[in-house]
């Protein structure tokens, strides 16, 4: 797998090389960006590689004019020059499925962006059937990605040649893809909608986004364990979390959820009993057997954990009339998405519909300030939203 210009990426792993790269990038108004992390290999996932592509020729729409750089955060102590660059008002950063990369870059390095073009979001606004980058590269550019590289350890050095080639592909075609998307967005009169959506990404307050809480209730296998054994399962879950933190490995690589469920259900009395549990290897029994037996004993003494709320989804926390308005808005959204050939969340997200249902706006001014209601959506959907609410109110005057 090679790029159309046949060139290898430039590896950036010294402060001098990074400063030279940033000086070069400051002359650009457009760059493509992606990251690779080690979430499959570490408890505390980290950004292990930052890929950057720019046009060094005459036309960013042509892959042959694109050059690529791979910045190694694991070998650089100070990435602040990149952060200052990314927040430059005149620089547009092109990413595919930008939200997660933006979140990771903010949490790890404090990076923010002033202009974003999200190629996946643009493809979804256009109603493309396949919006994953690998599928798009194959359909639009005839490039087949080595999907095996997705599951490799990006935190291990040195990187394999296949990893380098894969990482390069993730940004090399983003600028030409952007050009294709802009042409189609303008042809279908969805360019302004896309710009509003990109601005919404820029406006996200990642500092306020809570870190997802780990809890044993998140395991699907909880329902397979007798209720009276939930305290034991909780104790096993906490043991695995502690072990994963200590080894800096993902919990699933310490022990599968299904094994924890079997241990909590069958309550083996000794290490020999453990060997009959499917998925629990002899190596794991030798390494963890004593600790597991101790944890099982501790779990029996635990107070039974309280059951979580039956349904804590936000829409089920609405009062009755607001929930009815939410359902009416959701029906309108479904019809609108079908007409436009997009998924429902491209019209409006559930969070936005919930906010509207709670606020029960009577005018366009009332809709302003609701998350995701940018100028285009306010102008395009606002009157229809108000009409939907008015119809509901007419049909249900008591609500």
Q: Give me the pLDDT at residue 365, please.
A: 96
Spatial strand order of the sheet with 66-71 comes to 10-12, 66-71, 47-55, 30-37, 92-95, 116-118
Same domain, residue pair 156 and 223: no
Interior angle at CA 195, CA 203 and CA 352, nearest 5? 55
Which neighbouring-strand residues pair with 10?
69
* Cβ partners under 8 Å of residue 244, min gap 6: 43, 250, 251, 253, 254
Pairing mode of beta strands 47-55, 66-71: antiparallel
Per-residue model confidence as pLDDT tens digits over 230-263: 999 999 999 999 999 999 999 999 999 999 999 9
Q: Look at residues 155, 177, 206 and tell me which one is the last residue of a structural domain.
A: 206
Per-residue model confidence as pLDDT tens digits over 270-322: 999 999 999 999 999 999 999 999 999 999 999 999 988 754 555 555 788 99
Q: Is residue 309 part of a domain?
A: no
pTM score: 0.92
Q: Give me the pLDDT at residue 396, please.
A: 83
Same domain, residue pair 258 and 233: yes
DSSP letter for 368, please.
T
Same domain, residue pair 286 and 373: no
Same domain, residue pair 30 and 178: yes
Same domain, residue pair 221 and 283: yes
Q: Print the domain residue range for 240.
A: 216-301
Same domain, residue pair 288 and 142: no
Same domain, residue pair 28 and 141: yes
Same domain, residue pair 73 and 163: yes
Higher pLDDT, 328 or 314: 328
Q: Is residue 318 part of a domain?
A: yes
How many domains does the chain contain in total?
A: 3
Same domain, residue pair 289 and 358: no
Same domain, residue pair 293 and 381: no
Residue 94 sits in a domain of what CATH number? 3.30.420.10
Q: Look at residues 119, 131, 130 and name the one whose alpha carbon lies nearest to residue 177.
A: 119
Whether pLDDT at 26 is above 90: yes
């Amino acid at each position: 797998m090679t790029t159309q210009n046949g060139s290898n990426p430039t590896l950036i792993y010294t402060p001098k090389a990074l400063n030279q790269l940033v000086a070069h990038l400051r002359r650009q108004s457009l760059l493509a960006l992606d990251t690779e992390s080690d979430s499959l290999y570490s408890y505390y996932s980290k950004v292990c590689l930052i890929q950057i592509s720019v046009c060094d020729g005459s036309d960013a729409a042509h892959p042959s004019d694109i050059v690529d750089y791979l910045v190694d955060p694991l070998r650089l102590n100070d990435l602040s020059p990149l952060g200052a660059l990314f927040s430059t008002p005149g620089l547009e950063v092109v990413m595919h499925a930008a939200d997660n990369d933006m979140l990771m870059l903010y949490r790890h390095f404090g990076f923010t962006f002033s202009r974003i073009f999200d190629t996946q979001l643009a493809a979804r606004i256009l109603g493309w059937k396949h919006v994953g980058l690998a599928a798009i590269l194959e359909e639009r550019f005839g490039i087949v990605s080595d999907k095996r590289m997705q599951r490799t350890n990006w935190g291990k050095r040195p990187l394999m040649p296949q990893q380098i080639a894969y990482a390069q592909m993730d940004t090399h075609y983003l600028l030409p893809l952007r050009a294709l998307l802009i042409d189609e967005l303008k042809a279908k009169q969805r360019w302004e909608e896309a710009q509003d959506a990109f601005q919404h990404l820029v406006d996200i307050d990642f500092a306020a986004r809570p870190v997802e809480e780990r809890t044993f209730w998140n395991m699907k296998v909880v329902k397979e364990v007798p209720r009276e054994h939930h305290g034991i399962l909780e104790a096993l879950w906490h043991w695995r979390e502690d072990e994963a933190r200590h080894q800096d490995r993902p919990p699933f690589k310490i022990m599968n959820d299904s094994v924890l469920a079997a241990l909590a259900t069958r309550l083996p009395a000794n290490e020999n009993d453990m060997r009959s549990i499917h998925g629990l290897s002899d190596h794991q029994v030798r390494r963890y057997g004593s600790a597991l037996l101790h944890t099982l004993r501790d779990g029996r003494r635990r107070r039974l954990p309280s059951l979580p709320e039956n349904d804590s989804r936000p829409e089920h926390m609405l009062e009755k009339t607001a929930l009815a308005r939410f359902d009416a808005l959701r029906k309108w959204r479904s019809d609108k998405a079908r007409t436009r050939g997009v998924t429902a969340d491209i019209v409006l997200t559930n969070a936005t519909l919930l906010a509207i249902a709670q606020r029960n706006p009577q005018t366009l001014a009332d809709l302003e300030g609701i998350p995701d209601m940018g100028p285009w959506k306010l102008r395009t959907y606002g009157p229809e939203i108000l009409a939907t609410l008015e119809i509901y109110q007419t049909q249900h005057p008591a609500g």
